[in-house]
Amino acid sequence: MSKILHAAITGRVQGVGYRAWTLRRAQELGLQGWVRNRRDGSVEAVFKGDEDKVVQMLGDCWRGPRSAVVSEVVATAVPDEHWPDFSVRPTA
C-alpha cells in the first residue's frame, strides 16, 4: 500500500549535507517526492512510496548524515501531487 507523508525536520540539519543525504536515501528506497531547506533552519520533505519504505525513511531521518544533529521529525499526511521522482527543491 502506498503512503505519502510530509516530514518537518529540525536540529542541526542545514550545512551538513542533509538534503543530499535525503535525496540519496530516498532514491535507494525507490521513493517519490522532494526535500528542501526552510529559511528557519529546518528541512522539509515529502515521501511517497510503499508504506514500509516511507516508515523506514522517516526513521532514517532521525539519523541523517554523519554531521547532523536531529532534534525532531514531525510527519503529517499530505495529498498526492504525483511526483515523477525524488528531487531537491529550492529553499522556501
CATH number, domain of 26, equals 3.30.70.100
Residue 15 lies in a domain: yes
Is there a catalytic annotation at residue 37? yes
- Active-site residue, selected from the candidate residues 37, 38, 66, 89: 37
Single out the catalytic residue among 19, 24, 36, 63: 19
pLDDT at residue 1 greater than cutoff 90: no
Q: Is residue 74 part of a domain?
A: yes
Could you read off the pLDDT of 35-65 as tens digits, one per residue? 999 999 999 999 999 999 999 999 999 999 9
Number of domains in the chain: 1
19 is a catalytic site residue: yes
Read out DSSP for 35-48? Answer: EEE-TTS-EEEEEE
Strand partners, 37: 43
Q: What is the pTM of this model?
A: 0.96
Q: Is pLDDT above 90 for 24?
A: yes
78-82: average pLDDT? 95
- Tell me which residue range forms the domain holding 17: 2-80
Helix (H, G, I), strand (E, B) or coil at 73: strand
